[in-house]
Amino acid sequence: MSVLLETIQTSLLDLVSGAIEFLPALFLAIVIICLTPYLVRPARRLTRMVAERCTDNFSLQLLAVQAASVGIWISGILLVCILLFPDLGLGDIIALLGLSSVAVGFAFQDIFKNFLAGILLLLNQPFQVGDQIIVSDYEGTVDDINIRATKIRTYQNENIVIPNSLVFTNPIEVLTEDSKRRTDLVIGLDYNTSLPKAREVLQRAAATVTEVLVDPAIEVDITEFADSSINFVVRYWTRPTQLVIRRTRTQVIMALKAACDRAGYSIPYPIRTVYHFDQQKFDDASTKSVSQNGNASYPSEIT
């Protein structure tokens, strides 16, 4: 019995002594985990300063900053593992990473897909922060491009977070790629209008708007004989942002309407011609009577 008690006492002493020896490493690991977020911030600032001096590409600067953040976190986690498991060597860590990468890959395949797509977007740079784009069913201004997602601010001030995999695999319409953008505005005039003179009037009216660019020049095309009017298309160029396009469109419409009023041009309403028939004379709904010899005969006109 005494041997059993001595064995239990020895085991407890070993357990307590092992715990006491493990406490400093555990405390240091907790400190490292708590300090890692605070180390990320200065690392990001320092990386941004270095990246701004090395390249003017804003997307590459973002990629360098985000890579620094990920590197700091990975270094902190590896240091904690070494402190908590001192017998764990570098080869064991590599083997563990190799075995776990398959399981993690299946579990987090969407995250890794977005991660790789984010890197490719930052490297290829199809658009930049501040550009106005259309991707899928969303349109707005790019607020941020990070490793996981792209943030778009809509014109209604709504924040849309789109996974990078969707951005990378869908067509992207970059509205502010160039310094100018064309707007096509349709206006219909009645058939009594002098077409050559009307083209000049519309072109001069659009040129009076301040935001309309002089180069490229304004174009006025006659497009079709519509049901109620002859349609013109006024093509003019402005700066590419949505705010300028929206405000300029309003000013151009007002200028065209005022010019048509001064010139006496009519902008017609839709016209429909209605024909009235004498239903007693043209009774299509009456039932045909067939004579015995097979010839069709119709009821006589009602007087």
What's the mean pLDDT in 8-15? 59
Number of neighbouring beta carbons within 10 Å of residue 22: 13
Mean pLDDT score across all residues of the chain: 79
> 159 vs 143, 187, 234, CA distance in Å?
9, 36, 34
Does position 7 have pLDDT exceeding 80, yes or no?
A: no
> 287 vs 39, 281, 283, 291, CA distance in Å?
94, 14, 9, 13
Does position 289 have pLDDT exceeding 60, yes or no?
A: no
- The pLDDT confidence band at residue 14, using thresholds 50, 70 and 90, is low
CB of 130 closer than 8 Å to CB of 59: no
pLDDT tens per residue, range 36-51 = 887 888 888 888 888 7
Q: Is 2.30.30.60 the CATH classification of the domain at 126-174?
A: yes
Nearest to 218 by CA among 232, 231, 174: 232
In single-letter form, the type of residue at position 257 comes to K
**Cβ neighbourhood burial of 242 (10 Å; 0-12, 13-18, 19+):** middle
pLDDT tens per residue, range 69-105 = 877 877 777 777 777 666 665 555 656 555 555 555 5
Percent of the chain with pLDDT over 90: 38
CB of 174 closer than 8 Å to CB of 131: yes
Does position 281 have pLDDT exceeding 80, yes or no?
A: no
pLDDT tens per residue, range 212-246 = 999 999 999 999 998 889 999 999 999 999 999 99
> 106 vs 92, 93, 149, 198, 288, CA distance in Å?
22, 20, 20, 66, 76
In single-letter form, the type of residue at position 43 comes to A
* Two structure tokens written together for 40: 């990320």
Nearest to 198 by CA among 223, 228, 227: 223
Q: What are phi and psi of 216, to 5 degrees?
A: -70, 155
Does position 301 have pLDDT exceeding 50, yes or no?
A: no
Domain boundaries, the chain: 21-107, 126-174, 178-303
Long-range contacts of 109-114 (CB under 8 A, 24+ apart): 110/163, 110/165, 111/148, 113/165, 114/147, 114/148, 114/149, 114/163, 114/164, 114/165
178-303: same fold as 126-174?
no
Rounded to two decimals, what is the model's pTM? 0.62
Confidence (pLDDT) at 88 = 60
Nearest to 302 by CA among 283, 284, 275, 277: 283
| CA 245 to chain CA mean position, Å | 19
pLDDT tens per residue, range 100-159 = 555 555 555 677 788 788 878 877 888 888 999 999 889 999 998 887 889 999 999 999
DSSP readout, 281-297? TS-TTSPPEE-TTS-EE
Q: How far apart are CA 85 and CA 157, in angstroms?
A: 50
Higher-pLDDT residue of 79 and 165 is 165
Confidence (pLDDT) at 9 = 59
E-strand stretches of 126-278: 132-135, 138-145, 149-153, 159-163, 172-174, 181-189, 219-225, 230-238
Does position 270 have pLDDT exceeding 80, yes or no?
A: no
Q: What are phi and psi of 138, to 5 degrees?
A: -115, 140
Percent of the chain with pLDDT over 70: 73
Nearest to 188 by CA among 231, 220, 235: 231
In terms of CATH architecture, what is 178-303? Answer: 2-Layer Sandwich (3.30)
